[in-house]
Structure 1
Amino acid sequence: MKKFILIILSITTLGAFAQRGGPGEDAAYVKANYTKFEYQIPMRDGKKLFTSVYVPKDQTKKYPFMMDRTCYSVAPYGPDTYKSSLGPSSQFLHDGYIFVYQDVRGRFMSEGIYEEMTPELENHKTNKDIDEGTDTYDTIDWLLKNVPNNNGKVGVWGISYPGFYTTTALLSRHPALVAASPQAPIADLWRDDGWHNGAFFLVANFGFYPGFTNRQDDKPTQRRGGRFDPGTNNGYDFFMKMGSMKNTNDKYYKDTIRLWNEMMDHPNYDQHWKDRNVLYHLHDIKTAVLVTGGWYDAEDLYGAINTYKTLAKLNPATPVYFTMGPWVHGGWARGDGDALGDVTFGGPTGPWYREHVEFNFFSHYLKGTPLENLAPVNTFETGVNKWKTYKKWPPVEAVEKNLYLLPGGKLSFTAPKGVKDSYDAYVSDPANPVPFTPEPSMDMNREYMVGDQRFLAGRKDILSYTSDVLDKDVTIAGNIWANLKVAITGTDADFIVKVIDVYPDDAPNNTLKNRDGSTKEVKMAGYQQMVRSEPMRGKYRNAFDKPEPFVPGKVTPVNWELQDILHTFKKGHRIMVQVQSSMFPLIDRNPQKFVDIMKAKESDFQKSTNKVYTSAIHPSFLKVRVMNDN
C-alpha cells in the first residue's frame, strides 16, 4: 500500500526505464541538455513552495511545462545536483519539455503545515482560502510569467499521492492547464488507503506513517522520516502479539504521529473524511484528462476507477481517457509489466502504454502532434491477455447477471429454487484469523492480488462455492457487487468475498523470468488465482458514517462493491467464490463485538458463528456484468 509509494515514486518521479536505455544514459542526457533552477514560489497567502525547474539548454524554440507536485520530496536539492531522469518516461526527457517538481505545502522544503489530502474549497473568498487547487493555480501563474521560452501550456502528472495532487490541479481550473494525468490517484483517503468499506488496512498503513512523518510543523527541512523497526519480518506474528489497535499507540507510537492519530480518531466515514473526498469537486473541468490505474493496484484501485467515472459523468464535453492494465501500484511507469507473482500477461505491457498512450496524450495536447487514434478507454483483459478498447467504462455491451451461492458449495447463474431455507456456517475466531498470504510479512505482499488460494485448503473458517467447468469463455467487465444474506452470533463481523479463477488440471505451466535473467517453470494445474477480493465491515452495511450493530441470529442483508475487473474465465476453467471473515494482517481483526475497534480491549474479542444463506428465500449472490458476446 502506501509504503510502496515511497519506493515507487523514488523511481517514477525520476523517470521510468524506457526504450532508449537505462538510467545512466538518461542521467548524462539531463546534465548535458538541461539547466536546473530552484525557486520559492509565493502563494496567495504568503507561504512559499519550493520548486525545482529543469529548462532545456536549447532555447531556439518554446516548450510546454510538465509538472509533478509531490509530498515525497523533489530531491536532490541544490542547483548543481540533478535528477537522473525527467518526466513520466525517458521519451519526454528526449523530446524536450520544461520539467517542474514542487514540494507541496508543508512538506520538505516548502513552507506551511501539511494536511493529509487537503480539503478542497468550492469558494475562495479571501487570500486565506487556500487548498491544493489554489496552490496549483498560483504556481502555474508564476511559472508562465517567470520562466522564459514557455509556450503557455502546462501538463501535470503524478502517481499515488502525486496522482491526488494531479486531480486537485484540475480544480485550479487555470486556462493554461491543458492536460493532466492522475495515475493511481488517491480520491477518498478513507476508501482508498485507510479503510475498505470500513475494514482497516493494517499492514499497509502501520509502517507507512513513521517514514512519512519527517516534520509536523511549518519549518522546511530536507530530513526524511525514520523507518519503524518491528524486529521481525513475520507480520502475522508481530500483529497478533501487538494485540488490539489501541496498542499501536500504547506500545509503539505513543501518540506522537499526528496523521496516524487522525486515522485512529476517525474510524467512521465522518466529516473529517468527507472533506477529503476530492470526487465531490470534479465538475466544470475543461482540461483533457488521462486517468491511469492497474487492476492489481493494492493501494489505489478505487481512486483510479472512480476518478475516471466521476470525471466522465460530470464533464461529458471534456476529453477524458482511461487506461487500466495488469499492473500493481505504479507498475506502468517502469519495467515490462509482463507478470505478477505466478501469473503472466503474454508479454510486456508497460512500454506500450508509455509510448502509445501516455506520451501520445501529452504530446498531442501540449505540442499539437496527432493523437494517433487514442481510444477513450484502453483496458487490458486478463485471463486472455489482450488489450481492449471501448468508448466508455464499463462497456455498454456488458449485461448484468447474478451469480448465486448455492447449497453444496455450488455456484451458478441459475437462481436457487424451492421453499426450504439453507445456509452454510463457520466459526470466525479472532485468535486464529485467516492469513492473506501463505507467509504474511511486514509488507503488503502485493502479489496476494493474484495469489493461489490453495494455501488455505483445509481451513474450516472459509466457505467455497464453485461453478461447473465452463463450456465457453465468460468475461466479466465492470464492478462486482456482493449481496449476502447472513446471520451472526455476535454484534459485528467482517465479510470478505474473493472471486477466483480455477485453472483446469491440464493447464500449461507458466515460464517466468528471474532477476538474474534465468527462467523458472510454475505449475498452473489446478491453480486458484484470485481475481478480486474486497472486505466489508458489517456494522457499516447501511451507512459508512452511522455504524450499527447486528441483531444476533437475525438474517441480515450485507451488500458492498468489490470494484471493477476485466477478466475472462476461459472455457475449461471454473469460477469460485469464497467467503470468510478475516484476512490478516492485511485487514485488522474485528472483535466481532459492536465497539470502536480502534479503542477495543483484548476482552472485547470473541468468536462468532457466521451463517451465509443459499436459498431462494434468502439468496446470496454476486451481481456481475458479463459481456454479451460470450
Structure 2
Amino acid sequence: MKTSLSRSQHLRIFIILLALPFLSGTQALGQVTETPAEANFTIREEMIPMRDGIRLYTLILSPKDTAIPLPVLLLRTPYNAERAAGDRSDPSLEAVLGTRFMGPDYIYVFQDIRGRFRSEGDYFMYRAPRGPFNQTNTDETTDAWDGIDWLVKKLSTNGRVGIWGTSYPGWLTLAAMRDPHPALAAAVPFNPVVDAWKADDWFHWGAFRGAYAFDFIYDMETRTDTSSKFPYDQNELYSWLLPRGALGTSLGAHLDERHEMWEWLMKFPAYGPYWKEVAADQWFESPERLVPALHVHGFWDQEDIYGSPAAYAALERLDTNNDINYFSAGPWYHGQHFEDGTVLGQLQFGENTAMHFREEVLAPFLRHFLHEGESELPAPVTVFETGTNHWLTFESWPPPVEEMQFYLQTDGKLSFTPPDEEDTFTAYLSDPKHPVPFKPRPIWNFDYTNPPAIKAWQRWLVEDQRFVDGRPDVVTWVSEPLTEALTVRGPVMARLFAETTGSDADWVVKLIDVYAGVEEDFVMSGFQLMISGDILRGRYRENFEQAAPITPDTPLEYRIPLPQVNHTFLPGHRIMVQVQSTWFPLYDLNPQTFVPSIMTAPDSTYKAQRHRIHHSASYPTAIMVYRDSNE
C-alpha cells in the first residue's frame, strides 16, 4: 500500500524543501557537508536508525558559536532532504534557508522519510497507521518518534523539538502528533493533506482529480530516488485528455506495479475504511497529549483546501483552555505562506501578507513553545479578511456568526428571501463531449519544473469567472448591487435541489463576488471572483461510502460543502452563484449514466443529459453562509 503525494506536494518540494537546486540522492555521506570557512553554520549527515533497524537519511544544519543548547526544527519529507543544503557556497544560514529561517538559535533538521531518496526501506505513499492497512510495526508516527528521540539524545539541544511541513509534510507533521514524543513541543502543519477523499488531493466529494493524481503518482512512484516526468505528446491537458474516456482505463494503461497508489485509488473510489484510516482529522479522538499546534490555511489553496480547518476543528474541541490549538489563514495559494504574499493573480492585498504571517504569527508561536516562553503568543486565531484586505484576530474559528442564505430565484436573480413561486427551475444540457474548463485555456499539465504551468495552477481559483460567460451549460444567478458591506466567515454549504434525465451527475457550485462595473483598480472592474466553490459526485448524495444511481426526472436535494471563507462583499458589489456539471480536466468526466465504477466506465455510457436546478417554494435552492454577528 502506498500513500500518495500530489503535484501539490511537488510544489511543496519547492516550498518545503527550500526550493533549492536539485541534488542527486545517490551521494555517499559526507559529500554535502562542506561549507565555506567563514560560514556561520555546520552541516552534518546521519543515518538515523528506526526501531526495526531501517535507517533514515537526516541532514542537520546547526549554527556555529552558540553557547547554549538550542531547540530543533524538524522537517520530514518525501522530497529529498538534501535540498535543504542549498547553495553551500553561501556562508549565511539565513541565505540558505530563506523565508524558512526563524532565527540563528535553532537547529534545522531535514529527513527523508522511509523509502525516499537516501533513506532505507520501502516507500508507501501516505503510509497508513499501524492497523488493518499497515500490518507492520512501524508507520510515520513511530518513525517521527524514533527520529526525535535520536535528535534529543545525540545533539546538544534544549530538549524541545518542533516539527513543521507543508502539504504531504503537513500530513507527516500531524502523524507525529498522534502519539507524540515527550520532546515534541510544537507543530506547524501548513496546508496539510488531511482527507484525500473528501476535498484534498485525490477526490473532492467523490469527483476524481484523475489527471492530477496520475501526474503525481507517475512522478513519485516510477522511481523513489528521483523525479520522473511522464512523456506527454502534447502539453495542453484539456485536448490531450478529452478523447481518452474513463481515466482508470486510459491513464492506468501507462502505469504498472510500481504505481501502487493508483491501484488503491481504483480499488476505493468511494469513501470507506481505508480513506478514514489515513484521514488525519480522525486520528485525535482521545490523544494522550496535545502538542501545541499552529494550523495554517490558504483561502485559495488549489490543492488541499479542506485539510487545515478540519485538523484545527478536530483538535480545538480538546483544547479546553484555548491555549494549545492555534489557527491562521491568509489569501494564499498552496504554500504561499513561504513566498511573496502581496498578490495572487489579479488580486492585490496591499501588503506582503505572507511576511506578516511569518513575523507576527509563526515566529512568535515557535519561539514561545521552543524557547520556554521567551515571546508572547499570537492570538488563538489570526486570519486575513479578503475584500477589505486586513488582518483580524479571534478567540476561535469561526468566530461568533449568524446563519443566512442566498436564495436562487427566477430570471437569474439572487436574494436573501426564499422564493414564493412554485414549479420554477432553470435547465441546461450537460454534454461530456464539451465539458466546461476549470480555468481559461490553455490548460497545462502539472509540471512543477515549468514556471508557466506552476503560475497557472497556483492562480486558477482566483481567475475571473467571466471566461465561462455565454456557455449554455453554466447557469447563473446574481443579486442586486449591495447597499452595505456584507461579511461572511467560516463554512459554506450549498443546498441544491436538482434533477437530471440521467442516472448520475456531478454538481459544481461557485459563490462569486462580482466587482462594481467601475473600480479604482481599473483591471478589477466587473471582475468575478470565486470566493468559494466545489464539486459533488451525485452518486454519493445519500452515502459517501456507497454509490447509488440517481432517480431520473426527480428533484432531489444535494448538500455540497464548499471551502471556508473570510470575505467582505463591498457596497456596490453583487453576489453571484453559478452551477455547472463539469470542471474539466481537473475532475474526471461523469458519464451521467450510472455504472459501478466511473474509473472504468465504457465509452458508450457517456451521454449528454438535461439538468434542472429548482428554485421554488417547495425546492428552495440556497447557499448557506455565516454572517459576522457584529454587523
Verify the 8 A CA contact 2:77 2:110 in the aligned structure 1: yes
Per-residue deviation, 1:535:
0.2
Per-residue deviation, 1:77:
9.5
Structure 1 pair 600/255, CA: closer, same or farther in 2 (3 Å)? Answer: farther
Q: Which residue, 144, 152, 164 being the options, matches 2:171?
A: 164
> Where does structure 1 lack aligned partners over 5 or more consecutive residues?
17-26, 217-222, 511-522
CA distances 1:47-71 after superposition (whole Å, capped 9, x unpaired): 2211111222224211111100001
Verify the 8 A CA contact 1:12 1:334 in the aligned structure 2: no
Verify the 8 A CA contact 1:480 1:623 in the aligned structure 2: yes
> Percent of pairs identical after alignment?
37
Q: Which residue, 268, 271, 274 being the options, matches 2:273?
A: 271
Verify the 8 A CA contact 1:38 1:79 in the aligned structure 2: no
Q: Which amino acid aligns with 2:334?
A: H
Per-residue deviation, 1:90:
4.7
Aligned to 1:387: 391
Q: What is the distance in 2 between the residues matched to 1:77 and 1:569?
A: 42
Q: Which amino acid aligns with 1:231?
A: D
Aligned to 2:594: 594
Which residues of 2 match residues 397-436 of structure 1 at below 5 A? 398-418=401-421, 420-436=422-438
Structure 1 pair 31/50, CA: closer, same or farther in 2 (3 Å)? Answer: farther
Q: What is the distance in 2 between the residues matched to 1:536 and 1:101?
A: 38
Q: What is the distance in 2 between the residues matched to 1:30 and 1:469?
A: 65
Aligned to 2:514: 502
Q: What is the distance in 2 between the residues matched to 1:159 and 1:609?
A: 42
Q: Which residue, 488, 497, 509 being the options, matches 1:485?
A: 497
Aligned to 1:23: none
Q: What is the distance in 1 between the residues matched to 2:575 and 2:475?
A: 14
CA distances 1:76-135 after superposition (whole Å, capped 9, x unpaired): 599996898579755746422111111111211112222222222489x99x53221111
CA distances 1:313-349 after superposition (whole Å, capped 9, x unpaired): 23334511111001111101122x1111111112211
Aligned to 2:327: 322
Q: What is the distance in 2 between the residues matched to 1:484 and 1:566?
A: 22
Structure 1 pair 292/78, CA: closer, same or farther in 2 (3 Å)? Answer: closer
Aligned to 1:181: 188
Q: Which amino acid aligns with 2:557?
A: P
Q: What is the distance in 1 between the residues matched to 2:259 and 2:302?
A: 24
Q: Which amino acid aligns with 2:405?
A: N
Residue range with higher mean Cα deviation, 292-301 or 259-268: 259-268
Which residues of 2 match residues 503-522 of structure 1 at below 5 A? 503-509=515-521
Q: What is the distance in 1 between the residues matched to 2:36 and 2:272?
A: 49
> What SS is found at the alignment partner of 2:359?
helix
Structure 1 pair 321/540, CA: closer, same or farther in 2 (3 Å)? Answer: same
Q: Which amino acid aligns with 1:375?
A: A
Q: What is the distance in 2 between the residues matched to 1:272 and 1:464?
A: 38
Structure 1 pair 271/369, CA: closer, same or farther in 2 (3 Å)? Answer: closer
> What SS is found at the alignment partner of 1:39?
strand
CA distances 1:602-626 after superposition (whole Å, capped 9, x unpaired): 1110111111110011111111101
Q: Which amino acid aligns with 2:582?
A: S
Q: What is the distance in 2 between the residues matched to 1:74 and 1:197?
A: 33
Aligned to 1:98: 107
Q: What is the distance in 2 between the residues matched to 1:251 and 1:122?
A: 31
Aligned to 1:132: 140
Q: What is the distance in 2 between the residues matched to 1:238 and 1:15?
A: 29
Q: Which residue, 287, 293, 305 being the options, matches 1:289?
A: 293
Verify the 8 A CA contact 1:14 1:85 in the aligned structure 2: no
Which residues of 2 match residues 606-621 of structure 1 at below 5 A? 606-621=607-622
Per-residue deviation, 1:10:
2.7
Q: Which amino acid aligns with 2:616?
A: S
Verify the 8 A CA contact 1:15 1:88 in the aligned structure 2: no
Verify the 8 A CA contact 2:12 2:167 in the aligned structure 1: no
Q: Which residue, 108, 121, 146 being the options, matches 2:154?
A: 146
CA distances 1:198-256 after superposition (whole Å, capped 9, x unpaired): 0112342232122212546xxxxxx3131112122211101113222134345433565
Q: What is the distance in 2 between the residues matched to 1:299 and 1:250?
A: 22
Aligned to 2:336: 331
Q: What is the distance in 2 between the residues matched to 1:4 and 1:194?
A: 11
Per-residue deviation, 1:370:
4.2
Structure 1 pair 503/76, CA: closer, same or farther in 2 (3 Å)? Answer: closer
